[in-house]
Structure 1
Amino acid sequence: MQRILISGASVAGPVLAYWLRRYGFEPTVVERTPALRHGLGGHAVDLFGSGVEVARRMELWAQIHEARTQTTTMSVERHGKRPVTVDIDRLSAGISDRHVEILRGELTKLLYEATRSDVEYVFGDSIATLDDDGDGVDVTFEHAAPRRFDLVIGADGMHSTVRRLVFGPEEAVRRHLGGYLAVYSMPDLFALQDRMLVHVSVDRMVSTYGVHQTGQARAAFLFRTATELPYDYRDREQQRRIVADAFGEYGWTVPRLLEHLAAADDFYFDAISQITLDSWQRGRVGLVGDAGFCPGPAIGGGTSLAAVTAYVLAGELAAARSDLPSGLRNYERKVREFVDLSRAAAPKVMKSVIPGSATAVRLVPWATAMLVRLPTPVQKLVWAQNGVGKALGSLPLPNYSDLIRTP
């Protein structure tokens, strides 16, 4: 049985492991996060179109739908203006018949639970070195003993260790889009339950929404800067200071949100950047999801992209079972247009999510409210013409069911 090592246990990694196991491979997933921390926190993410179909084929759709955020209304506010209330259910229906919003941590836990019984997981460890000799890959780890695999896949996010070891430093392939995202859990100060509060201003957006599973709330901050900020992506205290400095004088309810910044144990912060590699495979090493082609956190449909590309990668490896490097090449050809469309759309989405002018600030709540009032078929037409909508609908899922070897 061919052994495949997957680095990363968020979305792409477990989806890939699930299908590889069904096709008769022996996948191992290594994840830097300790087991007790795995699946905690994270912002709300979306599964669209083909991403939902992947969940259906994994027989996880009912569980994912049950775990959805259940946010029904959104109140959009601006300094000195009356709030505009938006019906999220109606907006979601206009986006797609196949769409769900779920907290990343919830999705990660569901994917792990679906694979843990027949996939080996190694938590609290990371790859240290990779040596591809053409017939296999010798791998050393930070803690575990060395092992040899037939293939190694990096599904370890925008700051991928596998990509750095095989494809070079992140700085050479990262395109910063000018924005930043921070998210953390906190008490539900405003009794939000199924509501979301959003406040927009020039180059700033703040939101807080209820989490029905825990009775808590999430606070989310997006902002843009004229120049890229220097920071260490592993230094959480430095990142907390960046958020506090960016929003310290903001007003609205932000002072109350920031009171809980220091105590949040699931704090997440990162630049809104893209990974722009020309190729996602080299010999017996490949990349999938954000590790290979991050379109931009929170703006490019990265979660659906990760699920769909992981599904295709597993299928193409199964189809080329005797020649795994050719399976990597075939996977790259099949998903390239899908990936390119998502990356092209993301910068435009960021301009609407984080308004860059006073005019844009005035238009955001008005345009959102107007979209919701349109008939559902018209909403779907508008979404289909949107860059992300086009991207997420551009790759019908191939059928690899004839390759399944295990029940």
Structure 2
Amino acid sequence: MPSSLRGFRVLVSGAGVAGPAVAWWLARHGAEVIVVEAAPALRTSGFAVDFRGPTHLGVLAAMGVLDELRAVQTHAGAMSRVDEHGREIFRLPAEFAGGELEVRRRDLSRILYEHGADRVEYRFGDRITALADTADGVRVHLARGASRTVDLVVGADGLHSEVRRLTLGPEPAYVTHLGYHLAGWDLPNDLGADAVPRQYNVPGRMASVFADPRDPDRATALVVFAGPRQDHDRLDPDRQKALIAAAFAGLGWHVPRLLAGLDAAPELYFDAIARVRVPRWHTGRAVLLGDAAWGVTLGGMGVGTGVVGAYVLAGELALAGGDHRVALPAYERRMRAYASRWQRGANPGHFLAPASAWGLWLRDRLLAARPVQSMLVRSTGSLATDLDLPDYPAQV
């Protein structure tokens, strides 16, 4: 395939999902790509993510990873809401809860990383500390002392993006805390959990557990709870665990066992449920991708949208021959409406853990109704597929 990015140098911040995806596409178009990741290795915490519709699945197929992802899908099926005795109150259909393809985030991250590791340089345990424009690019300074000049910097470094802070300003200008926190961890499956997530609620709090069908001896706990804003980056794991334990103290169902597993968990995912709104995703030779640009924590289709955005960003750069002045506005024009539709007004915390007893009762009554369930499935499917993607590889 003719390459229009030969010799084009790109530094990507973030090795979660969108970062490895855009790195793979850029390398396929001929670019020289380095990915830096603050964590010392690929992260293994997190929760299941889903893809749905021909737009999401088409990009995964074009990358050559769709069959690998299907081999590790969770087959989680429906989500079950239970009371403190484990009796089911309602069950959401599999099409809403898990889309057409649901995988653990760690499996997705690993597969995307492995898919491009032979042509992309990865630097773990490092991060960008400063950016400076030069006559022929942008000078990037890294925490471990190295610096280099590249043609483009991609900030795929999530909700708390360092690239966004360095180029556009402090996080509070772009990230709105939505009043809830989210946490997840693994524990031994001595609860009899299966692949169907069971969800237990009291006002303002939700606890859920499910097992991986490929490793039924392990279970994953996922909790959501209301609470004031925290500086998550400054909380050590012990403090994070203490906040979770305090929020769920005294609850019934399996919650005491989940908290016991939390105390022994070697890795914990913990963050705010927040919404990112950035008026402009690019400035100079830096551009934002995925949650750094348009994220809503646990917002339904953020991961799928990040993978699509990676395809579009790399494709527009290839069409423009690496001219960022042409490619970055084109990427933003194509992606902004698509990315913003599903996040508009969304607060997953209100959906998963209504704050009042009345709100919890009303949510349960609504979600138990078949017409409401059918509407949810239709709406999420239309949001996921409403984008006409160019065939960039054929056009380059």
| TM-score normalised according to structure 1 size | 0.89
Note the C-alpha offset of 1:151.
Answer: 0.5
> Which residue pairs with 2:16 in the alignment?
10
Note the C-alpha offset of 1:232.
Answer: 4.1
> Which residue pairs with 1:335 in the alignment?
335
Query: Partners in 2 of 1:113 and 1:63 — Cα distance?
Result: 11
The 10-residue stretch of structure 1 (308-317 or 319-328) with the greater mean CA deviation from structure 2: 319-328
Counterpart amino acid of residue 281 in structure 1: H
Note the C-alpha offset of 1:92.
Answer: 2.7
> Which residue pairs with 1:307 in the alignment?
307
Note the C-alpha offset of 1:391.
Answer: 3.2
1:278-317 map, 5 Å: 278-294=279-295, 296-317=296-317
> Which residue pairs with 2:162 in the alignment?
161
- Contact kept, 8 Å, 1:39 with 1:106, in 2: the verdict is no
> Which residue pairs with 1:27 in the alignment?
33
- Contact kept, 8 Å, 1:79 with 1:201, in 2: the verdict is no
Note the C-alpha offset of 1:282.
Answer: 0.3
- Contact kept, 8 Å, 1:73 with 1:194, in 2: the verdict is no
Note the C-alpha offset of 1:301.
Answer: 1.8
Aligned residue for 1:106, secondary structure, equals helix
Aligned residue for 1:299, secondary structure, equals coil
Counterpart amino acid of residue 222 in structure 2: A
1:391 is aligned, of 370, 383, 396, to: 383
> Which residue pairs with 2:324 in the alignment?
324
Partner deviation per Cα, 1:81-105 (whole Å, 9 max, x = no partner): 842363x6xx234689x62111110
Note the C-alpha offset of 1:290.
Answer: 0.7
The 10-residue stretch of structure 1 (153-162 or 185-194) with the greater mean CA deviation from structure 2: 185-194
Note the C-alpha offset of 1:396.
Answer: 2.6
Distance 1:177 1:16, change over 3 A: same
| Structure 2: tracts of 5 or more residues without a match | 1-6
> Which residue pairs with 2:221 in the alignment?
219
1:59-208 map, 5 Å: 59-79=64-84, 82-84=87-89, 86=91, 91-93=93-95, 99-133=100-134, 135-208=136-209
Note the C-alpha offset of 1:258.
Answer: 0.3
| Structure 1: tracts of 5 or more residues without a match | none
Distance 1:81 1:58, change over 3 A: closer
Query: Partners in 2 of 1:251 and 1:15 — Cα distance?
Result: 41
- Contact kept, 8 Å, 2:48 with 2:102, in 1: the verdict is yes
Query: Partners in 2 of 1:248 and 1:210 — Cα distance?
Result: 23
Distance 1:231 1:6, change over 3 A: closer
Aligned residue for 1:359, secondary structure, equals helix
Counterpart amino acid of residue 378 in structure 2: A
Partner deviation per Cα, 1:190-232 (whole Å, 9 max, x = no partner): 122323221012111110000233431001100123x434554
- Contact kept, 8 Å, 2:78 with 2:97, in 1: the verdict is no
Partner deviation per Cα, 1:15-64 (whole Å, 9 max, x = no partner): 101111111111111111123xx141211111222222211111111111
Aligned residue for 2:378, secondary structure, equals helix
Query: Partners in 2 of 1:94 and 1:123 — Cα distance?
Result: 35
Query: Partners in 2 of 1:232 and 1:42 — Cα distance?
Result: 16
Note the C-alpha offset of 1:243.
Answer: 0.5
Query: Partners in 2 of 1:52 and 1:4 — Cα distance?
Result: 26
Matched, 1:370 2:349: no
1:202-281 map, 5 Å: 202-214=203-215, 215-225=217-227, 227-229=228-230, 231-281=232-282
Aligned residue for 1:195, secondary structure, equals coil
Query: Partners in 1 of 2:166 and 2:230 — Cα distance?
Result: 25
The 10-residue stretch of structure 1 (247-256 or 362-371) with the greater mean CA deviation from structure 2: 362-371
Aligned residue for 1:273, secondary structure, equals strand
Query: Partners in 2 of 1:80 and 1:108 — Cα distance?
Result: 36
Partner deviation per Cα, 1:246-268 (whole Å, 9 max, x = no partner): 10122221111101212212201
> Which residue pairs with 1:48 in the alignment?
52
Partner deviation per Cα, 1:90-143 (whole Å, 9 max, x = no partner): x234689x6211111011001011111111111111112111235301111111
Query: Partners in 1 of 2:182 and 2:23 — Cα distance?
Result: 29
Note the C-alpha offset of 1:389.
Answer: 4.5
| TM-score normalised according to structure 2 size | 0.91
Q: How many pairs were matched up?
A: 388
Query: Partners in 2 of 1:191 and 1:149 — Cα distance?
Result: 52
Q: What is the identity percentage for the equivalent residue pairs of Structure 1 and Structure 2?
A: 36
Query: Partners in 1 of 2:78 and 2:280 — Cα distance?
Result: 41
Query: Partners in 1 of 2:320 and 2:104 — Cα distance?
Result: 35
Distance 1:189 1:80, change over 3 A: closer
- Contact kept, 8 Å, 1:125 with 1:144, in 2: the verdict is no
Query: Partners in 2 of 1:273 and 1:186 — Cα distance?
Result: 26
Aligned residue for 1:206, secondary structure, equals strand
1:345-360 map, 5 Å: 345-347=345-347, 349-360=348-359
Aligned-pair RMSD on alpha carbons?
2.3
Query: Partners in 1 of 2:135 and 2:374 — Cα distance?
Result: 48
- Contact kept, 8 Å, 1:300 with 1:345, in 2: the verdict is no
